[in-house]
Amino acid sequence: MSTYPKTPLGYARMACDTMIRRYDVNQLPPQQGYNRATFNYHQGVFLTGMNRVYDLCRDERYLDYIRRWVDAVQDENGRIREYTGWLTLTTLDFRQPGNVLCDLYEKTHDAHLLDLLKYLTESLADYPKNEYGGFWHFYTTPDQMWLDGLYMAGPLLVKYASYTGREDLRELAIRQIFLMHEHMRDPKSGLLRHGWDPGKHAAWADPETGLSPEVWGRACGWFVLAIADMLDYIPQDHPRRGEIIAIQQELIAAVLNYQSDEGRWYEVVDKWKEPGNWPENSCTCLFVYSIAKGVRQGYIARDAYKAARRAYDRVIETLLPAPEGEFSMGNVCVGTCIEEGTYDYYIHRDTVENDLHGMGAFLLMASEMAKLEEAAN
């Protein structure tokens, strides 16, 4: 069992090693009754994080694990099994693992990976949209845009566009940023609400704005993460790049306003002083990642690093007790829809140790903190 230095990269490697020891690729949660690897965003975000760690340390075990997962989600004909099932076809969430295919494609330029990506991305041109051109989050939630959706589809679309020249798909992804920012912004906090129903049919929809009631931490985290990663693939001379950066700067400033006294961000971000609310690690990791990346790339003020470092340190301080060389993180909210969308709904969500939402977010955060610290030295 390896012992790593207590640095961002060291903790990230410990987390990767722990998960590799615990789970064969076919055992990664959630199993969803299949007893095999599944093409879902829980596994996708975790493996996206593992790839970032691999890029820093070049430990071939991590790349091998990712490759074995990609092989495991394909059938005997080389097709992603979920492509023909209801999940991928009827929700944005199960597009996100395409980013794992992108990571491998950028390393190998394997034409088969690009062929897999072709269906996953180009079919989004015909995916259901509301009257504004915004993706429905699920087929079963007509017209509704959920903040999570930008990360589930946005980075994938702009990456694929950069490989193939499909500018229409890049513009489709960018449109989602502006729609969400325009229609989902909470005027009081400057943060974004979890959901928006233009038709105001959902039980949670405000009768005037169509907005859901609360600012859920991980949804906000997905949004700023998506922009941080999409900017890597949006050309420097794109006419709206400056506007996208301005949105990210505005949102990060709003996020910083609601950092709690203990250092992390809370499940309902703007109500961290309210009874029953609690510090949630996955959103904290996503915010730290987005702040650190923006600082490193020069569009977020250097002063923001202090807040990011304080949050990172607090996540590390509150890791759960574990045997030497093992990694254990709690306070990660399980997968969450909007349901009634109330404050009580969010604060009573369950938490799971080493939930893949949290593990992926942690690996992203730690890898970006490692890059930022390396750049400073």
Q: Kindly list the structural domains of the chain, giving each domain's residue range(s) and its CATH number in brackets, ordered by start.
A: 8-376 (1.50.10.10)
Six token digits for residue 352: 């799971």
Helices within 81-191 (DSSP H only) = 86-90, 98-108, 111-122, 149-164, 167-184
pLDDT at 89: 61
- Residues facing 77 on adjacent strands: none
Percent composition of the chain: helix, strand, coil (DSSP 3-state, to 5): 55, 5, 40
Packing angle, helices 356-376 and 304-317, rounded to 10: 130
Catalytic-role residue among 143, 148, 270, 355: 148
Query: Is 344 tagged catalytic?
Result: no
- The rounded average pLDDT for each run of 10 residues, N- to C-terminus, in the chain (377 residues) is 84 98 94 80 97 98 98 92 62 93 98 95 93 95 97 98 98 98 97 98 97 98 98 98 98 98 98 98 98 98 98 97 94 95 98 96 98 83
Residue 27 per-residue DSSP state:
G
Q: pTM of this prediction? A: 0.97
pLDDT at 87: 47
Six token digits for residue 116: 């897999």
Six token digits for residue 285: 């990791």
pLDDT at 332: 98
pLDDT at 311: 98
> Number of helices (H) and strands (E), helices first, in the chain?
14, 2
Residue 81 per-residue DSSP state:
G
CA atoms within 13 A on the CB side of 68: 14
